Structure 1
Amino acid sequence: MTTHHLAPDQQTELLNTLKSRFEKNTNRRPGINWADVAASLSIKPAKLWSLNEMERTGGEPDVVGIDAKTGEYIFYDCAPESPKSRRSLCYDGKALDARKEFKPENTAMDMAAAMGIEILTEAQYRELQQLGEFDLKTSSWVLTPADIRKLGGAIFCDRRYNTVFTYHNGASSYYAARGFRGVLKV
Protein backbone atom coordinates (compact mmCIF):
# COMPACT_ATOMS: atom_id res chain seq x y z
CA MET A 1 0.00 0.00 0.00
CA THR A 2 1.30 3.44 -0.93
CA THR A 3 1.42 5.99 1.86
CA HIS A 4 0.36 9.43 0.71
CA HIS A 5 1.72 12.70 2.07
CA LEU A 6 0.94 16.36 1.49
CA ALA A 7 3.58 18.94 0.69
CA PRO A 8 4.28 21.36 3.58
CA ASP A 9 2.34 24.22 1.95
CA GLN A 10 -0.65 21.91 1.36
CA GLN A 11 -0.52 20.80 5.01
CA THR A 12 -0.55 24.42 6.18
CA GLU A 13 -3.46 25.32 3.90
CA LEU A 14 -5.49 22.28 5.00
CA LEU A 15 -4.80 22.88 8.70
CA ASN A 16 -5.90 26.50 8.33
CA THR A 17 -9.12 25.40 6.63
CA LEU A 18 -9.83 22.76 9.28
CA LYS A 19 -9.07 25.18 12.12
CA SER A 20 -11.40 27.81 10.65
CA ARG A 21 -14.22 25.28 10.26
CA PHE A 22 -13.56 23.96 13.79
CA GLU A 23 -13.84 27.47 15.25
CA LYS A 24 -17.04 28.28 13.30
CA ASN A 25 -18.82 25.11 14.46
CA THR A 26 -18.04 24.80 18.16
CA ASN A 27 -21.42 23.11 18.79
CA ARG A 28 -20.19 19.97 17.02
CA ARG A 29 -17.77 18.89 19.74
CA PRO A 30 -17.98 20.53 23.16
CA GLY A 31 -14.85 20.21 25.28
CA ILE A 32 -12.39 19.55 22.45
CA ASN A 33 -9.78 22.18 21.66
CA TRP A 34 -8.05 22.77 18.35
CA ALA A 35 -4.48 22.61 19.74
CA ASP A 36 -4.98 18.96 20.74
CA VAL A 37 -6.49 18.07 17.36
CA ALA A 38 -3.65 19.85 15.51
CA ALA A 39 -1.05 18.02 17.61
CA SER A 40 -2.62 14.67 16.70
CA LEU A 41 -2.77 15.60 13.01
CA SER A 42 0.88 16.70 12.96
CA ILE A 43 2.11 13.18 13.73
CA LYS A 44 -0.17 11.40 11.24
CA PRO A 45 0.65 12.65 7.72
CA ALA A 46 -1.28 9.86 5.97
CA LYS A 47 -4.42 10.90 7.87
CA LEU A 48 -3.82 14.50 6.81
CA TRP A 49 -3.72 13.30 3.19
CA SER A 50 -7.08 11.53 3.67
CA LEU A 51 -8.59 14.65 5.24
CA ASN A 52 -7.34 16.60 2.24
CA GLU A 53 -9.09 14.12 -0.05
CA MET A 54 -12.30 14.64 1.95
CA GLU A 55 -11.86 18.40 1.57
CA ARG A 56 -10.86 18.26 -2.12
CA THR A 57 -13.98 16.29 -3.01
CA GLY A 58 -16.31 18.70 -1.20
CA GLY A 59 -16.86 16.90 2.10
CA GLU A 60 -15.96 19.76 4.45
CA PRO A 61 -14.57 17.43 7.16
CA ASP A 62 -14.85 18.52 10.77
CA VAL A 63 -14.22 17.00 14.19
CA VAL A 64 -17.42 15.61 15.69
CA GLY A 65 -16.08 13.77 18.74
CA ILE A 66 -13.51 11.48 20.30
CA ASP A 67 -13.54 7.68 20.08
CA ALA A 68 -14.02 6.54 23.70
CA LYS A 69 -11.96 3.37 23.16
CA THR A 70 -8.97 4.72 21.21
CA GLY A 71 -8.92 8.42 22.08
CA GLU A 72 -8.81 9.27 18.37
CA TYR A 73 -10.54 12.36 17.02
CA ILE A 74 -13.48 11.54 14.75
CA PHE A 75 -13.97 13.54 11.55
CA TYR A 76 -17.19 13.35 9.50
CA ASP A 77 -17.99 14.99 6.19
CA CYS A 78 -20.10 17.96 7.30
CA ALA A 79 -20.93 19.53 3.93
CA PRO A 80 -24.60 20.61 3.83
CA GLU A 81 -25.29 18.22 0.93
CA SER A 82 -23.67 14.94 -0.08
CA PRO A 83 -20.24 15.91 -1.50
CA LYS A 84 -20.66 16.89 -5.15
CA SER A 85 -17.49 15.17 -6.37
CA ARG A 86 -18.68 11.91 -4.80
CA ARG A 87 -22.08 11.57 -6.44
CA SER A 88 -23.39 9.41 -9.28
CA LEU A 89 -21.72 6.31 -7.85
CA CYS A 90 -23.15 2.85 -7.39
CA TYR A 91 -22.50 1.21 -4.03
CA ASP A 92 -19.54 -1.15 -4.61
CA GLY A 93 -17.43 -3.03 -7.16
CA LYS A 94 -19.75 -6.03 -7.25
CA ALA A 95 -22.64 -3.71 -8.12
CA LEU A 96 -20.56 -1.97 -10.79
CA ASP A 97 -19.59 -5.30 -12.36
CA ALA A 98 -23.27 -6.31 -12.44
CA ARG A 99 -24.23 -3.33 -14.60
CA LYS A 100 -24.47 -4.22 -18.27
CA GLU A 101 -24.47 -0.65 -19.57
CA PHE A 102 -24.34 2.98 -18.44
CA LYS A 103 -21.78 2.21 -15.78
CA PRO A 104 -20.77 5.04 -13.44
CA GLU A 105 -17.10 6.00 -13.23
CA ASN A 106 -16.60 4.64 -9.74
CA THR A 107 -18.28 3.21 -6.65
CA ALA A 108 -18.82 4.69 -3.20
CA MET A 109 -16.93 1.90 -1.42
CA ASP A 110 -13.97 1.96 -3.83
CA MET A 111 -13.69 5.74 -3.76
CA ALA A 112 -13.78 5.79 0.06
CA ALA A 113 -11.06 3.12 0.22
CA ALA A 114 -8.88 5.06 -2.23
CA MET A 115 -9.29 8.14 -0.03
CA GLY A 116 -8.33 6.20 3.10
CA ILE A 117 -11.71 6.75 4.77
CA GLU A 118 -14.80 4.70 5.55
CA ILE A 119 -18.42 5.32 4.62
CA LEU A 120 -20.65 6.42 7.50
CA THR A 121 -22.77 3.74 9.08
CA GLU A 122 -26.47 4.41 9.49
CA ALA A 123 -25.87 5.11 13.21
CA GLN A 124 -23.08 7.57 12.40
CA TYR A 125 -25.29 9.26 9.80
CA ARG A 126 -27.99 9.72 12.46
CA GLU A 127 -25.35 11.13 14.86
CA LEU A 128 -24.31 13.62 12.18
CA GLN A 129 -27.92 14.74 11.81
CA GLN A 130 -27.95 15.63 15.53
CA LEU A 131 -25.31 18.30 14.75
CA GLY A 132 -27.27 20.08 12.03
CA GLU A 133 -29.45 19.52 8.99
CA PHE A 134 -27.67 17.64 6.22
CA ASP A 135 -28.81 16.16 2.90
CA LEU A 136 -31.97 18.23 2.54
CA LYS A 137 -31.71 17.94 -1.27
CA THR A 138 -29.36 14.97 -1.69
CA SER A 139 -28.91 11.51 -0.20
CA SER A 140 -25.90 9.49 0.92
CA TRP A 141 -25.06 5.80 0.69
CA VAL A 142 -24.33 4.35 4.14
CA LEU A 143 -22.52 1.16 5.08
CA THR A 144 -24.91 -1.63 4.21
CA PRO A 145 -25.34 -4.73 6.40
CA ALA A 146 -23.96 -7.88 4.76
CA ASP A 147 -27.33 -9.67 4.72
CA ILE A 148 -28.90 -6.85 2.68
CA ARG A 149 -25.90 -6.55 0.38
CA LYS A 150 -25.86 -10.31 -0.21
CA LEU A 151 -29.36 -10.00 -1.68
CA GLY A 152 -28.27 -7.22 -4.08
CA GLY A 153 -29.43 -4.23 -2.07
CA ALA A 154 -27.78 -1.26 -0.41
CA ILE A 155 -29.08 1.43 1.92
CA PHE A 156 -28.90 5.20 1.88
CA CYS A 157 -30.19 8.04 4.03
CA ASP A 158 -31.37 11.61 3.73
CA ARG A 159 -33.25 14.22 5.74
CA ARG A 160 -36.72 15.35 4.73
CA TYR A 161 -39.60 16.84 6.74
CA ASN A 162 -37.21 17.31 9.69
CA THR A 163 -36.78 13.52 9.85
CA VAL A 164 -33.89 11.23 8.91
CA PHE A 165 -35.01 8.46 6.57
CA THR A 166 -33.26 5.23 5.62
CA TYR A 167 -34.13 3.68 2.27
CA HIS A 168 -33.02 0.80 0.10
CA ASN A 169 -32.11 0.51 -3.55
CA GLY A 170 -30.37 -1.98 -5.77
CA ALA A 171 -26.64 -1.55 -5.10
CA SER A 172 -25.99 -1.02 -8.80
CA SER A 173 -28.23 2.05 -8.97
CA TYR A 174 -26.77 5.53 -9.04
CA TYR A 175 -28.21 9.01 -9.10
CA ALA A 176 -26.87 12.53 -9.59
CA ALA A 177 -28.13 13.53 -6.15
CA ARG A 178 -26.75 10.51 -4.25
CA GLY A 179 -23.19 10.32 -2.97
CA PHE A 180 -21.57 9.25 0.25
CA ARG A 181 -20.21 10.78 3.44
CA GLY A 182 -17.06 9.57 5.09
CA VAL A 183 -15.56 9.14 8.53
CA LEU A 184 -11.90 9.26 9.52
CA LYS A 185 -10.38 8.69 12.94
CA VAL A 186 -7.13 10.50 13.74
Structure 2
Amino acid sequence: MNNINSNIESPPEQREELLSALKARFEKNMNRHKGLEWAKVQAKLETNTEKLWSLNEMERTGGEPDVVGQDRTTGEYIFYDCSAESPKGRRSVCYDRKALESRKEHKPDNSAIDMAAAMGIEILTEEQYRELQKLGNFDTKTSSWVETPASIRKLGGALFCDRRYDTVFLYHNGAESYYTARGFRGSLRV
Protein backbone atom coordinates (compact mmCIF):
# COMPACT_ATOMS: atom_id res chain seq x y z
CA MET A 1 0.00 0.00 0.00
CA ASN A 2 1.32 3.43 -0.87
CA ASN A 3 1.44 5.79 2.02
CA ILE A 4 0.13 9.21 1.06
CA ASN A 5 2.58 10.65 3.58
CA SER A 6 5.61 8.69 2.36
CA ASN A 7 7.61 11.89 1.93
CA ILE A 8 7.35 12.57 5.63
CA GLU A 9 10.35 11.36 7.55
CA SER A 10 10.40 11.21 11.31
CA PRO A 11 13.14 13.13 13.13
CA PRO A 12 16.06 10.86 14.21
CA GLU A 13 15.19 11.12 17.92
CA GLN A 14 11.59 10.09 17.19
CA ARG A 15 12.81 7.11 15.13
CA GLU A 16 15.13 6.05 17.96
CA GLU A 17 12.30 6.34 20.50
CA LEU A 18 10.01 4.26 18.29
CA LEU A 19 12.66 1.59 17.62
CA SER A 20 13.33 1.38 21.35
CA ALA A 21 9.62 0.90 22.11
CA LEU A 22 9.25 -1.70 19.34
CA LYS A 23 12.32 -3.60 20.56
CA ALA A 24 11.05 -3.65 24.16
CA ARG A 25 7.62 -4.90 23.02
CA PHE A 26 9.25 -7.51 20.74
CA GLU A 27 11.41 -8.86 23.59
CA LYS A 28 8.52 -8.85 26.09
CA ASN A 29 6.20 -10.82 23.77
CA MET A 30 8.40 -13.49 22.17
CA ASN A 31 5.37 -15.82 21.87
CA ARG A 32 4.10 -13.58 19.03
CA HIS A 33 7.14 -14.14 16.80
CA LYS A 34 8.97 -17.35 17.71
CA GLY A 35 12.18 -17.86 15.79
CA LEU A 36 12.55 -14.23 14.70
CA GLU A 37 15.42 -11.97 15.72
CA TRP A 38 15.03 -8.30 16.60
CA ALA A 39 18.34 -7.32 14.93
CA LYS A 40 17.03 -8.50 11.55
CA VAL A 41 13.70 -6.76 12.05
CA GLN A 42 15.46 -3.53 13.02
CA ALA A 43 17.78 -3.69 10.00
CA LYS A 44 14.75 -4.01 7.72
CA LEU A 45 13.00 -1.11 9.48
CA GLU A 46 16.01 1.16 9.18
CA THR A 47 16.02 0.76 5.40
CA ASN A 48 12.26 1.47 5.12
CA THR A 49 11.72 4.90 6.67
CA GLU A 50 8.22 5.27 5.20
CA LYS A 51 7.24 2.07 7.03
CA LEU A 52 8.74 3.48 10.21
CA TRP A 53 6.48 6.50 9.76
CA SER A 54 3.45 4.18 9.49
CA LEU A 55 4.55 2.21 12.56
CA ASN A 56 4.89 5.49 14.42
CA GLU A 57 1.31 6.36 13.45
CA MET A 58 0.17 2.95 14.72
CA GLU A 59 2.02 3.62 17.98
CA ARG A 60 0.80 7.23 18.30
CA THR A 61 -2.84 6.16 17.99
CA GLY A 62 -2.49 3.46 20.66
CA GLY A 63 -2.05 0.36 18.52
CA GLU A 64 1.09 -1.00 20.19
CA PRO A 65 2.33 -2.60 16.94
CA ASP A 66 4.37 -5.79 17.18
CA VAL A 67 5.79 -8.38 14.80
CA VAL A 68 3.41 -11.33 14.44
CA GLY A 69 5.24 -13.22 11.72
CA GLN A 70 7.33 -13.20 8.59
CA ASP A 71 6.27 -13.93 5.04
CA ARG A 72 8.66 -16.73 4.05
CA THR A 73 8.24 -15.95 0.35
CA THR A 74 8.95 -12.19 0.41
CA GLY A 75 10.90 -12.00 3.68
CA GLU A 76 8.63 -9.20 4.87
CA TYR A 77 7.95 -8.87 8.58
CA ILE A 78 4.28 -8.58 9.46
CA PHE A 79 3.16 -6.15 12.16
CA TYR A 80 -0.32 -6.04 13.71
CA ASP A 81 -1.76 -3.71 16.31
CA CYS A 82 -1.40 -5.71 19.53
CA SER A 83 -2.96 -3.33 22.07
CA ALA A 84 -5.21 -5.16 24.54
CA GLU A 85 -8.24 -3.18 23.34
CA SER A 86 -9.03 -1.57 20.00
CA PRO A 87 -6.58 1.36 19.59
CA LYS A 88 -7.91 4.31 21.56
CA GLY A 89 -6.90 6.90 18.97
CA ARG A 90 -8.90 5.10 16.26
CA ARG A 91 -12.29 4.62 17.88
CA SER A 92 -15.64 6.29 17.19
CA VAL A 93 -15.21 5.92 13.43
CA CYS A 94 -17.62 4.52 10.88
CA TYR A 95 -16.43 1.96 8.33
CA ASP A 96 -15.57 3.94 5.17
CA ARG A 97 -15.93 7.25 3.30
CA LYS A 98 -19.24 6.25 1.68
CA ALA A 99 -20.69 5.50 5.13
CA LEU A 100 -19.36 8.79 6.52
CA GLU A 101 -20.89 10.78 3.67
CA SER A 102 -24.23 8.97 4.02
CA ARG A 103 -24.77 10.26 7.56
CA LYS A 104 -27.04 13.27 7.65
CA GLU A 105 -26.10 14.38 11.17
CA HIS A 106 -23.81 13.44 14.06
CA LYS A 107 -21.05 12.43 11.68
CA PRO A 108 -17.94 10.86 13.18
CA ASP A 109 -14.65 12.65 12.52
CA ASN A 110 -13.33 9.92 10.25
CA SER A 111 -13.73 6.39 8.91
CA ALA A 112 -11.64 3.28 9.56
CA ILE A 113 -10.72 2.78 5.91
CA ASP A 114 -9.69 6.43 5.42
CA MET A 115 -7.62 6.49 8.63
CA ALA A 116 -5.84 3.26 7.70
CA ALA A 117 -5.01 4.60 4.23
CA ALA A 118 -3.69 7.87 5.67
CA MET A 119 -1.49 5.88 8.06
CA GLY A 120 -0.16 3.64 5.28
CA ILE A 121 -1.60 0.48 6.85
CA GLU A 122 -4.37 -1.96 6.04
CA ILE A 123 -7.33 -2.86 8.21
CA LEU A 124 -7.20 -6.46 9.46
CA THR A 125 -9.21 -9.08 7.63
CA GLU A 126 -11.37 -11.50 9.64
CA GLU A 127 -8.71 -14.19 9.10
CA GLN A 128 -5.92 -11.90 10.36
CA TYR A 129 -8.06 -10.89 13.34
CA ARG A 130 -8.54 -14.55 14.26
CA GLU A 131 -4.78 -15.15 13.87
CA LEU A 132 -4.13 -12.27 16.27
CA GLN A 133 -6.52 -13.75 18.81
CA LYS A 134 -4.40 -16.93 18.90
CA LEU A 135 -1.59 -14.79 20.36
CA GLY A 136 -3.59 -13.45 23.30
CA ASN A 137 -6.93 -12.08 24.43
CA PHE A 138 -7.70 -8.89 22.51
CA ASP A 139 -10.83 -6.71 22.41
CA THR A 140 -12.48 -8.16 25.52
CA LYS A 141 -14.17 -4.79 26.18
CA THR A 142 -14.04 -3.19 22.73
CA SER A 143 -14.56 -4.26 19.12
CA SER A 144 -12.73 -3.67 15.84
CA TRP A 145 -13.95 -3.17 12.29
CA VAL A 146 -12.54 -5.78 9.90
CA GLU A 147 -12.27 -5.78 6.12
CA THR A 148 -15.75 -6.27 4.74
CA PRO A 149 -16.54 -8.21 1.53
CA ALA A 150 -17.85 -5.99 -1.29
CA SER A 151 -21.11 -7.97 -1.45
CA ILE A 152 -21.93 -7.05 2.17
CA ARG A 153 -20.69 -3.48 1.85
CA LYS A 154 -22.80 -2.97 -1.31
CA LEU A 155 -25.89 -3.69 0.80
CA GLY A 156 -24.87 -1.11 3.43
CA GLY A 157 -23.29 -3.42 5.98
CA ALA A 158 -19.85 -3.77 7.49
CA LEU A 159 -18.22 -6.38 9.72
CA PHE A 160 -16.52 -6.16 13.08
CA CYS A 161 -15.09 -8.61 15.59
CA ASP A 162 -14.45 -8.89 19.30
CA ARG A 163 -13.65 -11.49 21.94
CA ARG A 164 -16.25 -12.43 24.55
CA TYR A 165 -16.76 -15.59 26.59
CA ASP A 166 -13.33 -16.81 25.43
CA THR A 167 -14.63 -16.85 21.85
CA VAL A 168 -13.98 -14.61 18.84
CA PHE A 169 -17.22 -13.30 17.35
CA LEU A 170 -17.87 -11.81 13.92
CA TYR A 171 -20.80 -9.38 13.74
CA HIS A 172 -22.40 -6.98 11.30
CA ASN A 173 -23.65 -3.42 11.60
CA GLY A 174 -24.60 -0.61 9.29
CA ALA A 175 -21.34 0.75 7.88
CA GLU A 176 -22.33 4.27 8.98
CA SER A 177 -22.56 3.29 12.65
CA TYR A 178 -19.86 4.24 15.12
CA TYR A 179 -19.34 3.64 18.80
CA THR A 180 -16.89 4.83 21.44
CA ALA A 181 -15.78 1.24 22.01
CA ARG A 182 -15.25 0.33 18.33
CA GLY A 183 -12.15 1.14 16.36
CA PHE A 184 -9.97 -0.85 14.01
CA ARG A 185 -6.71 -2.76 14.02
CA GLY A 186 -4.18 -2.52 11.25
CA SER A 187 -1.44 -4.53 9.63
CA LEU A 188 1.79 -3.45 8.00
CA ARG A 189 4.36 -5.42 6.01
CA VAL A 190 7.99 -4.31 6.17
Q: Distance in 2 between matches of 1:7 and 1:47?
A: 14
The residue type equivalent to 1:118 in the other structure is E
Gaps of 5+ in 1: none
The residue type equivalent to 2:181 in the other structure is A
1:128 CA drift (Å):
0.1
Which residue is equivalent to 2:189? 185
Aligned pair 1:86/2:90, yes or no?
Answer: yes
Which consecutive aligned stretches of 4+ in structure 1 deviate over 3 angstroms post-superposition?
Answer: none
Which residue is equivalent to 1:26? 30
Identity of counterpart residues, as a percentage?
A: 72
Aligned pair 1:132/2:108, yes or no?
Answer: no
Aligned pair 1:50/2:54, yes or no?
Answer: yes
Which residue is equivalent to 2:105? 101
Question: How big is the alpha-carbon RMSD for the aligned residues of Structure 1 and Structure 2?
Answer: 0.7
Partner secondary structure for residue 52 of structure 1: helix
1:2 CA drift (Å):
4.0
Q: 1:28 to 1:36 in 2, by over 3 A?
A: same
Equivalent of 1:175 in 164, 171, 179: 179
The residue type equivalent to 1:178 in the other structure is R
1:69 CA drift (Å):
2.7
Which residue is equivalent to 1:77? 81
Give CA deviations for 1:77-102 in whole Å, capped at 9, x if unaligned: 00000001100000000000110100
Number of residue equivalences: 186
Q: Distance in 2 between matches of 1:98 and 1:152?
A: 10
Partner secondary structure for residue 79 of structure 1: coil
Normalised by the size of structure 1, how large is the TM-score? 0.99
Partner secondary structure for residue 9 of structure 1: helix
Which residue is equivalent to 1:112? 116
1:68 CA drift (Å):
2.8
